[in-house]
Structure 1
Amino acid sequence: MQPEDLVGHELRQAAEDGRDPGRVARIAARWHAAGGHDAPPRAGASPRPVAPELRALAGELLDELAAVPSPLPEPSGLEEIRASAPGGFDADPADPHAGHHGLDDRMLGAWLGRAAGCVLGKPVEKIPREGIREIAEATGNWPIRGWFTAVGLPPEVAARWPWNRRSAANSLAENIAGVPEDDDLNFPLIALSVLERFGRGFTTADVATTWLDELPAGRVFTAERVAYRNLLAGIEPPGTATWRNPFREWIGALIRADVYGWANPGDPWTAAAHAWRDARLSHTANGLYGAMMVAAMCARSLAVPAGDPARAVRDVVDAGLSVVPTGSRLARAVREAVADAEAESDFERVVDRLYARHGGLHWVHTVNNAALVAAALVHGRGDFGASVAGAVAAGWDTDSAGATVGSIAGGLLGAARLPDQWIAGDRLSTTLRGFDGVGFDELARRTLAAGPGPKGTTRV
Structure 2
Amino acid sequence: MNEEILRKKILGCWHGKNIGGTLGGPYEGFPVVNRLTFYDPVPEGSIANDDLELQAMYAAALDEMERVEITRDVLADIWLRHMNFHVDEYAVAMKNLSLGIRPPWSGVYDNHFTDGMGAAIRSELWACLAPGNPQLAAEFAREDSCIDHAGAGADAEIFFAALESGAFAGNDLHTLIAEALKFLPEDSSLGESIRRTCELWEKHRDWRTVRDLLFEHYATEFRTSVEINIPFTVLALLSGGGEFGKTICDAANCGMDTDCTAATAGAILGILNPDGIPAEWLAPVGHKLVVRESAVRGLRFPETIEAFTEQILNLRKRLVPSVKTYVTPEPDWTVFQVSAEYSMKKNLHWYHVNLREQNWTPVRLPMISGSLEVPEEFRGNGGQIVLRYRFELPADGVYTVLFNTPTSCQVYLDPESEDLHDDRDMLFGRQRLFLEREVRPMRFRCADRPLIFNPTPGGAPQNQVKRYLKLPRGMHTLIIALAPLPSEERIYWGMGIAEGSRFLTGISR
- Which TM-score tier does this pair reach, normalised by the shorter chain? 0.5 to 0.7
Q: 1:31 — aligned with what? A: none
Q: 1:429 — aligned with what? A: 290
Q: 1:271 — aligned with what? A: 137
Change (3 A) 1:210 1:340: same
Assess if the C-alpha contact under 8 Å between 2:145 and 2:157 holds in 1: yes
Task: Please tell me the residue identity of whatever aligns with 1:185.
Answer: L
2:47 pairs with 1:180: yes
**Deviation of 1:361 (Å):** 5.8
Task: Please tell me the residue identity of whatever aligns with 1:388.
Answer: I
Change (3 A) 1:248 1:458: closer
Deviations 1:149-186 (A, max 9, x none): xxxxxxxxxxxxxxxxxxxxxxx30xx22223211111
Please point out which of 119, 138, 160 is paired with 2:22: 119
**Deviation of 1:190 (Å):** 2.2
**Deviation of 1:195 (Å):** 3.9
2:273 pairs with 1:410: no
Deviations 1:199-236 (A, max 9, x none): 553221211211122221xx232111101011112222
Q: 1:11 — aligned with what? A: none
Assess if the C-alpha contact under 8 Å between 1:358 and 1:368 holds in 2: yes
Task: Please tell me the residue identity of whatever aligns with 1:282.
Answer: D
Matches within 5 A, 1:22-421: 95=1, 98-99=2-3, 102-130=5-33, 132-133=34-35, 144-148=36-40, 172-173=41-42, 176-198=43-65, 199-216=67-84, 219-304=85-170, 306=171, 312-360=172-220, 362-414=222-274, 416-421=275-280
2:343 pairs with 1:440: no
Q: Specify the SS of the correspondent of 2:47.
A: coil
Assess if the C-alpha contact under 8 Å between 1:194 and 1:206 holds in 2: no
Task: Please tell me the residue identity of whatever aligns with 2:251.
Answer: A
Change (3 A) 1:318 1:214: same
TM-score normalised by structure 1 residue count: 0.65
Structure in which a larger fraction of residues adopt helix: 1
**Deviation of 1:197 (Å):** 4.1
Write the distance in 1 (CA, Å) between the matches of 2:246 and 2:10: 21
Q: 1:36 — aligned with what? A: none
Assess if the C-alpha contact under 8 Å between 1:313 and 1:381 holds in 2: no
Assess if the C-alpha contact under 8 Å between 2:68 and 2:318 holds in 1: no
Write the distance in 2 (CA, Å) between the matches of 1:248 and 1:341: 28
Q: Specify the SS of the correspondent of 2:316.
A: coil
Change (3 A) 1:437 1:429: farther
Assess if the C-alpha contact under 8 Å between 1:342 and 1:379 holds in 2: no
Q: Which has the larger radius of gyration?
A: 2
Write the distance in 2 (CA, Å) between the matches of 1:371 and 1:428: 28
**Deviation of 1:453 (Å):** 7.0
Deviations 1:383-403 (A, max 9, x none): 111111111111110001111
Change (3 A) 1:269 1:374: same
Change (3 A) 1:279 1:177: same
Q: Which has the higher contact order (CA 8 A, sep 6+)?
A: 1
Write the distance in 2 (CA, Å) between the matches of 1:367 and 1:352: 14
| Count of residues in correspondence between the two structures | 316
- Unaligned stretches of 5+ residues in structure 2: 324-509
Q: Specify the SS of the correspondent of 1:180.
A: coil
Write the distance in 2 (CA, Å) between the matches of 1:209 and 1:117: 29
Write the distance in 1 (CA, Å) between the matches of 2:20 and 2:227: 19
**Deviation of 1:291 (Å):** 0.6
TM-score normalised by structure 2 residue count: 0.59
**Deviation of 1:450 (Å):** 2.4
**Deviation of 1:194 (Å):** 4.8
Deviations 1:288-315 (A, max 9, x none): 10010011111112221x4xxxxx2222
Write the distance in 1 (CA, Å) between the matches of 2:228 and 2:322: 36
Q: 1:138 — aligned with what? A: none
Write the distance in 2 (CA, Å) between the matches of 1:358 and 1:420: 36
Write the distance in 1 (CA, Å) between the matches of 2:61 and 2:180: 23
Deviations 1:393-441 (A, max 9, x none): 1111000111111110111111x33111221211122124545562111
Kindly report the root-mean-square deviation, in angstroms, between the aligned alpha carbons of the 2 structures. 2.2
Change (3 A) 1:117 1:417: same
Q: Specify the SS of the correspondent of 1:428.
A: coil
Write the distance in 2 (CA, Å) between the matches of 1:209 and 1:126: 30
Q: Specify the SS of the correspondent of 1:244.
A: coil
Q: Specify the SS of the correspondent of 1:450.
A: helix
Q: Specify the SS of the correspondent of 1:112.
A: helix
Task: Please tell me the residue identity of whatever aligns with 1:317.
Answer: I
Change (3 A) 1:434 1:240: closer
Task: Please tell me the residue identity of whatever aligns with 1:269.
Answer: Q
Assess if the C-alpha contact under 8 Å between 2:114 and 2:149 holds in 1: yes
Greater CA deviation, 222-231 or 320-329?
320-329
Change (3 A) 1:353 1:103: same
Write the distance in 1 (CA, Å) between the matches of 2:105 and 2:205: 45
Assess if the C-alpha contact under 8 Å between 1:313 and 1:382 holds in 2: no
